[in-house]
Structure 1
Amino acid sequence: MRILVVVAHYFRHREGADLVGGLGSGRAPFAKIAALNAQLVALHRHVGPRRASLDPDDPQGQGGAAHALDVVIVTQPGANLLDYVGLAPPSFTVEPADVEPMMLAFEAQRIMRERAGAYDVYAYMEDDLIVDDPAFFDKIAWFAETFGPTSVLLPVRYEMGWTGTPAKVAIDGKLSREGLAPFRRPGLAPALTGTWNGQAKGFRLPGNPHAGCFAVTAAQLAHWMAQPSFYDRDASWGDPLVSAATLAPGKVFGLYKPAAPDPWFLGIEHFGTRYASIVAPEGERYGEPPLLALVEAASRDGTAALADIAERTGMRGDTINALIAEAGELRWRLARLERSRSALFKALLRALFARTGPAAR
């Protein structure tokens, strides 16, 4: 299977912004770097072409890959974090676009149109979504073949608690009737059933069609490009970012998500716990990856770092031995942070913010 994934990515440092406070753009670059790296690595892990083995005689290191993957990151020169993602070409290519930042996502349609006929599946993703399923694109292609070219399968978007309680939380809450109106047309079946690998699966028109992404087959893209709404850049549903991901395909296709008996049939992880943390039960916490918390804490002074580490990672001791071990680990972490703060993190921050932005790609 030949797969094209277009990712919209943008970052520009705001002078005076709190680099680690909150969960929005002020918190970038660390969270955005981590999210984009995780996204790209996951794509190559599951459908990338490069496979190897320590033992050249192992079947894992022989033969061609089942998929061909191209990842295109559409961005603005000087307004991205691609220098810091840590992946070398040809892991991805860069497509510069001279448009307003919030309109970058619409450029995915232009790129798909320019490459029509070269791939079997065409996907768009926001830059903080992580594919968790080796059969992700196979399931989408199966859905289109089973239910026809005007039906598109979207994944359930979820967040994962990495510290505290490791819960998997679906994050797309139900919309109002008015919000759903563009996606409720006559002739759309409210529910579908099919058989995947011998098992019954159910799908429905969801209470919230947004997933931050979409994927269509070559036949579906050809059908979409023939419609007057293709690449019309209509940003009237919410904002341009969600309109590009959801309203644009929703004008042409019925957008479905998994339902019972397997509501997690297709999912995609949204990096962090921005939304999941809100619904954690009393006494529990859905926290973020501990290494991210350590990096963000280390960008502050050493005194505040310990409080941040304890708060963000939830390190607590229930016995005296656990408390002693925790204290020793905290002392070790603080010493390491103090050594690395000037050698690593200040250098990183200077590199990030002493210029107007990362070098144009």
Structure 2
Amino acid sequence: MKILITIPHFFRQENNPKYGSQRNPEPRIQALTSSIVSLQQLFGKPQLMIKVGERIAIAANTLSNTTIDIFICTTGDNHLIDQIPLPSDLFKHYKTNTKALLLGFECHKILKEKIDQYDYYCYLEDDLIIRDAQFFTKLNWFNQVTDYQKLLQANRYELSLNQYTGKCYIDGDLLHRVTASFQNVNDEAELKGQIMNNPVIFRRALNPHSGCFFLNNEQMKYWAEKDYFLDQDISFVGPLESIATLGIMKTFKLYKPAPESANFLEVHHWGSAFINLLGSVVKFR
């Protein structure tokens, strides 16, 4: 399986920051580094097993062999690429001079240019980390048992051991009106399946935003042929949310694993900005 990952990366420190990309650089360096490392460890670099008795290493996980190309898109000098403590051959640096808040559309351009060269075309914000070796296996299964107009989105989560929890999913339902003009969540509202004798439930997402998406070749071609592809529409919440979510929401029926089986497909959101809201801004029923 060949996988293409595009990551928009921007950093410029501001006095009154709105986004994490405008605050302290160190967490952004750690997040992007962790994202690249995890992608290469899970899907890029060869995997081995040590045969202790013979003191030799043999190939492992060859039944699910994958290759990965990572493109990190930046604009001007507003980035931290030169501070990432990794060899430069682990990713490709794609330089632009576009407006900062529209940087993600440059990732969309790359995805379109590479159609028919990969099995999966992916967009991943620079503070998201995939930690599941079966991530694309699960996507493949979903795509095989449904159709190309149904797209499965991952649940973002944060980790922190506090008095309330150790793990929290941060993109629960929005109010219905927020996405009502873009999607009809009552159309095939729920899908059910079973994986290794365990039930799994998928529901149309009232909050379809995940900061990422993962399209197979058929889905990428279908979206890229739409007249609104790359139209730079940012009418869903804001520019970052629109770039990650609006185009695919216009094009596909978006599902997420329901809360009952939220970890079926998930990505780690670096930091604890949302989980720290528990008990204050976010109340308990």
TM-score scaled to structure 2, two decimals? 0.88
| Residue correspondence of structure 1 range 205-224 to structure 2 within 5 A | 205-224=204-223
The answer as to whether partners of 1:121 and 1:216 remain within 8 angstroms in 2 is yes
Report Cα offsets for 1:176-207 as digits up to 9, x if no partner: 22212144238831001123344332100123
Larger radius of gyration: 1
Residues 62/231 of structure 1: CA separation in 2 closer, same or farther (3 Å cut): closer
The answer as to whether partners of 1:156 and 1:266 remain within 8 angstroms in 2 is yes
| Residue correspondence of structure 1 range 24-173 to structure 2 within 5 A | 24-52=20-48, 57-60=56-59, 66-161=65-160, 167-173=166-172
The answer as to whether partners of 1:75 and 1:94 remain within 8 angstroms in 2 is yes
CA RMSD of aligned residues (A): 2.5
Report Cα offsets for 1:229-280 as digits up to 9, x if no partner: 2222111111111101111111000111002652221111110000110114
Residues 74/64 of structure 1: CA separation in 2 closer, same or farther (3 Å cut): farther
The answer as to whether partners of 1:116 and 1:222 remain within 8 angstroms in 2 is yes
Aligned to 1:270: 269
Q: Percent identity?
A: 31
CA distance in 1, matches of 2:112, 2:91: 19
Residues 58/163 of structure 1: CA separation in 2 closer, same or farther (3 Å cut): farther
CA distance in 2, matches of 1:96, 1:269: 26
Instruction: Measure how far apart 1:25 and its partner are.
Output: 4.0
Would you say how many aligned residue pairs link Structure 1 and Structure 2?
277
Task: Look up the SS of the partner of 2:244 in the other structure.
Answer: helix
Residues 251/88 of structure 1: CA separation in 2 closer, same or farther (3 Å cut): same
Give unmatched runs, 5+ long, in structure 2: 281-285
CA distance in 1, matches of 2:138, 2:60: 25
The answer as to whether partners of 1:33 and 1:85 remain within 8 angstroms in 2 is yes
Task: Look up the SS of the partner of 2:129 in the other structure.
Answer: strand
Aligned to 1:240: 239
CA distance in 1, matches of 2:126, 2:47: 24
Task: Look up the SS of the partner of 1:59 in the other structure.
Answer: strand
AA paired with 2:33? N
CA distance in 2, matches of 1:22, 1:113: 30
Task: Look up the SS of the partner of 2:179 in the other structure.
Answer: helix
Q: Which moved more, 1:250-259 or 1:75-84?
A: 75-84
Instruction: Measure how far apart 1:48 and its partner are.
Output: 1.6
Structure having the higher helix fraction is 1
Give unmatched runs, 5+ long, in structure 1: 282-361
Task: Look up the SS of the partner of 1:80 in the other structure.
Answer: coil
State whether structure 2 residue 12 is matched by structure 1 residue 12.
Answer: yes
